[in-house]
Amino acid sequence: MSASSSQALDYLELLPRQTHTKLYEQPSTVLAIFRCMLPHIAKTIVMGMLYMPTPFAAVDLEAWFRPDGKKEREKALAVLEQLHIVASQQDDKRQLSYTLYKGFARSLRQALEGSGTHRSFGVPSSIPDPNRVTIPFLEEYARSQWENILFFMVGSTVGLANANQLGNAVGEGTKALLKAGDFIRISNGRVSITRAGFTFVLQETNAQVWSLLIVYLKHAPQLGMSETDVLSFLFMLGSLELGQDYTTSTLSPTQLQMLEDLSAFGIVYRSSKDARTFYPTRLAVTLTSDTGALSTSDPLKSSPVGSSRPNANKGFIIVETNYRLYAYTSSLLQIAVLSLFTKLTTRFPNLVSGKLTKESTTRAVKLGISSTQIVAYLTAHAHPQMQKTQPFLPPTVTDQIRLWEYEGERVETTTGFLMKEFNSETEYRDVLSYAESLGVLQWKNDSKRLFFVDRVEQISLYLQKKKSRV
Amino acid sequence: MNAIDGTDRQVRTEEGPPPSLLAVVLDTNPHAWAHLSTTLPFSSCIAALLIFINAHLASGNGNEVAVIASHTHRAEWLYPTPHTTNSPLHSYSTDTTEDGTNGVAQRDPKIPENPNKYRPFATVEQCLLSNFSSLLNRTSETHLAATPTTLIGGALSLALAYIAKSVLRHSPVDTGLENPLSALADSESSHATRVPLTSRILIVSVSGDLANQYIPVMNSIFAAQRKRIPIDILKLAGDTVLLQQASDATGGVYMKPEQPEGLLQYLMMGFLPDATARRALVMPGAGGVDFRAACFCHRKVVDIGFVCSVCLSIFCEPNLPNNLCLTCSSYLSLRAAQTATPALVQRVKKKRKKVGAGPATPGASTPAGSSTPVHR
């Protein structure tokens, strides 16, 4: 589970049970959720239970885990219950046991066995397309569409001369969506990027796509589309094959409407608005995987040798302990993003070099970029040579970037919930340890029996369950 | 606010578990499967195995799989299909897909379009089945009559070689293809700090009596041990000392199901968790492991044997031709050792009695016996 899929998971967790049940009717959706949303231990539990004829007794489940794996087990079960994949029940002897929800289990089995007639993994077009497009064309298409969006966002901040011209390439629908997601603000026809927008730009492409799609999902009901339909279509896109044309005849009206929006993002390609086929691009097929989408955005790496190594063509940034930064790139977008927080000095045909200075960092912080974002960006794009050490970045540099930020702001805010007024010490301890094992605990005060969490759904469930047991 | 002192400079780099490579060695010995046909026909074994492989591929986005058949007369690749020629178009496009074990795995153009099946699953299934049927077609009766056992040693070596190659390909530095030697040196040093790929081997074994391959299998076991590759054993029929030792030495799982019909559930519970998940789970152990070795001269499992003092080869009888070791050809006279054999057995018995008798101190239980003078 990577950063990109975790935000999709956060979104999924908040959906009601009816939506989940409806979603789980499609094997492709179930498979995609299983593949990229669940924590690793949760996958193990689900697979262990999938072909089990009887419910899995909680005692047996505990026996399966080592004592030090308790935290992971609790976390996995919490996610599974939250997503309505696993149900816990008590039998006559008050023994707790777990079962998989029937719909989920059936769909997952169908996905693994390839059985059923659900046709949810995309129906390839049976008629050969006269103007068939090649994979390199699709890559190029996706890249240009997506980079246009990013350029549109950062262009004005960096002060690129041709920012306006690039902005015209972005469709009105996309602009509205970016605005709705609070990534940009448009005042007097001038585009300015927000803090959320910086988070967006500094993410990996895959995470960016998900961020945008989640905004899209949240606004789907306003456009008269059903969330379930939109979600299952997205998960189906993730299981398609690059370079294959798929027919539109089996899609629902909602999904046809989505196709138009998605082709504006560069996620799918259609030769014309009323074409009977569509092609998923690299952005689509990597929706449900972690492999870097758009790895070809660096033209230097398009040599066949580089592309044959899955991890090799990701990073391009080298940071030295003396705060010098070298980025092997000629992409204007990447240079623009780097210039947000570095003082760039020289540019060569395949390389830009610069320095991380206090001035450049505080400037970035003023724009709304946090030090964590900077460090995360540098880590995510670290050159393979840097990846040989752990951590990738020199610790002095990470520390210093953080300290520069803290000079300006000394208070960190977290939104969440304060838990208080516990009846007894044992009750406090119990709930506290549960919160800790979920990883939602932010702060605690033992003497006053107070603690603070950033997520409350699972704790309230836990408390309800506790109450019903008494 | 504790974060301010910068002690947690690990900026959430955790990207989940590293991808995992599962190499399945499937014992396809027709003799043994014929014995099993009433409880577990081979076809249902393949079906269960395919579901298991799909489950493995689904468990992690970067997960890969390799399947090798250990047949009676040869070890054969079932997946990925080895290709001698690479068409440039494919090697360009398959790099990031699930089946992107590029170089060897190629997208087969013959895969039937099935909208009910996830594409990578269909690829594996198609390759595996077609390769297996071609293997069966190439097996003649003379091959079968020649030997009742299977070439597990060769299949293990293939699996290890493939894993080594995959690890190189996953290492972060792009040196592997132009200069394989430098990459090899590089991987040794960087391996300790960063594991880009965790691998394991699963042997689905049905044949007994593998002692005639003691040496190649043992060598593979030691190689796996050194590379920290666990070897899991699913023993459906027969029993061999050798494979039990393999899983014990490499820290793998050894399982001998009492009901082979429930193969899929055994696979899902016992063998699906990868190295990351195993850290949190209690894995089934082998129980008592038989550590006996097989002799190098007749490939028999021996309780007590004779060991060459130079190369540590094991022999079951002292009558070596010309008094030369069969392995290293150094002079080795075992006749003197022969007389000592009964004494050795006796001493063991004596020791046991002593321990049972009670007065022995821990020091007395060491074979001090008569040779070492003891102060009283």
* Residue predicted with more confidence, A153 or B16: A153
Mutation target for A interface from B5, B49, B118: give the one with most A CBs within 10 A: B118
- Asked if A144 and A259 sit in the same domain, the reply is yes
Give me the residues of A, 370-409, that contact B with CB < 8 A. Answer: 372, 375-376, 379, 384-385, 387-392, 395, 398-399, 402-403, 406
Same-domain check for residues A27 and A109: yes
At A178 the pLDDT is 86
| Whether residues B259 and B300 fall in one domain | no
- Judging by DSSP bridges, how do beta strands A246-247 and A190-193 pair with one another? unpaired
Residues paired with B204 in a beta bridge: B26, B234
What are the counts of helices (DSSP H) followed by strands (DSSP E) for chain B? Answer: 12, 10
pLDDT tier at A163 (50, 70, 90 boundaries)? low
Kindly state the average pLDDT of the residues B336-347: 55
Domain count, chain A: 4
Q: What is the pLDDT of residues A315-370, one digit of tens each?
A: 889 999 999 999 998 888 888 888 889 999 999 998 999 999 999 998 888 888 88
Dig out the tokens for A13 from the structure.
């967790």
Q: What is the pLDDT of residue B300?
A: 80
Same domain, B259 and B297: no
- A399-421: per-residue pLDDT in tens? 999 889 888 766 778 888 898 88
Beta strands, E only, A150-213? 184-187, 190-193
List A100's β-bridge partners, or say none. Answer: A86
State the DSSP code for B113. P
Residue B360 in any domain: the answer is no
Q: For the packed helices A102-113 and B42-59, what is the interaxial angle rounded to 10 degrees?
A: 110
Give yes or no: residues A281 and A161 share one domain.
yes
Identify whether A220 is part of a domain.
Answer: yes
Number of structural domains, chain B?
2
Residue among B6, B15, B173 whose CB faces A399 most closely: B6
* Domain co-membership, B220 together with B308: no
Residue B7 lies in a domain: no
Return the pLDDT at A381. 87
Q: In sequence order, what are the beta bridge partners of A324?
A: A355
Q: Is B76 left (phi over 0), alpha (psi -120 to 50) or beta?
A: beta
- Domain stops at, among A269, A285, A301: A285
* B225 contacts chain A (CB < 8 A): no
Structural domain for B341, as ranges? 293-351
Do B236 and B122 share a domain, yes or no? yes
| Percent above pLDDT 90 for chain B | 18
Within-domain flag for A92: yes
Which range is most confident: A188-202, B168-182, B335-349? A188-202
What confidence tier does B102 reach under pLDDT thresholds 50, 70, 90?
very low
Structure confidence at residue B340 as a pLDDT band (50, 70, 90): low
Q: Residue B135: name the closest of B225, B180, B198, B70 by CA.
A: B70
Residue A215: pLDDT over 60:
yes
Segment B259-278 shows an average pLDDT of 88
Last residue of a domain, one of A285, A318, A341: A285
Residue A129, pLDDT above cutoff 50: yes
Same-domain pairing of A164 and A247? yes
Average pLDDT value for residue range B262-271 = 90
* Domain annotation covers residue A167: yes
pLDDT at B40 over 90: no
For residue B229, give the CATH number of its domain: 3.40.50.410
Omega before A391 within 30 of 0, i.e. cis: yes
Q: CA A107: distance to chain centroid?
A: 24
Query: Which of A310, A375, A376 lies nearest to residue B95, judging by beta carbons?
Result: A310
Would B370 be classed as within a structural domain? no
CA separation for the pair A430, A412 (Å, rounded)? 28
CA distance B76 to B69: 5
Element (H, E) at B64: strand B64-70
Contact (CB, 8 A) for B280 and A41: yes
Residue-wise pLDDT tens digits, A136-149:
888 888 888 888 88
On whether residue A387 sits in a domain, the answer given is yes
Confidence of residue A244 (pLDDT cuts 50, 70, 90): confident
Q: Which domain holds residue A337?
A: 309-408
pLDDT in tens, B215-232: 888 899 999 999 889 999
DSSP three-state, residue A186: strand
- Of A49, A80, A113, which residue sits at a domain end? A113
Residue B185 shares a structural domain with residue B303: no
Q: Indicate if B183 and B305 belong to the same structural domain.
A: no
* A185 and A280 both lie in a single domain: yes
- Please tell me whether residues B144 and B43 are part of one structural domain: yes
**pLDDT tier, B283 (very low <50, low <70, confident <90, very high otherwise):** confident
Across the interface, do B264 and A43 touch by the CB < 8 Å criterion? no
Chain B segment 118-157 residues within 8 A of A by beta carbon are 118-119, 121-122, 125
Residue B372 forms part of a structural domain? no
User: Which chain B residue is nearest to residue A412, measuring alpha carbons?
Assistant: B1
DSSP string, B294-305: E-TTT--EESS-
Mean pLDDT, residues B235-256 taken together: 85
Q: Is the CB of residue A127 less than 8 Å away from at least one CB of chain B?
A: no
Contact status of B99 with chain A (Cβ, < 8 Å): no
- Pair B131, B190 in one domain: yes
Best of B56, B174, B186, B266 to disrupt the A interface by mutation (most A CBs within 10 Å)? B174
Closest CB from A28, A65, A384 relative to B282: A65
B189 in Cβ contact with B214 (< 8 Å): no
For A2-61, write each residue's pLDDT tens digit: 555 677 788 888 888 888 998 898 888 898 888 888 888 999 999 999 998 888 988 888
Judge if B130 and B75 occupy the same domain. Answer: yes
Q: What band does B238 get if pLDDT is binned at 50, 70 and 90?
A: confident
Q: Is pLDDT of A118 > 70?
A: yes
Q: Quick one: B63 and B145 in the same domain?
A: yes
Among B110-114, B171-175, B237-241, which stretch is predicted with the lowest mean pLDDT? Answer: B171-175
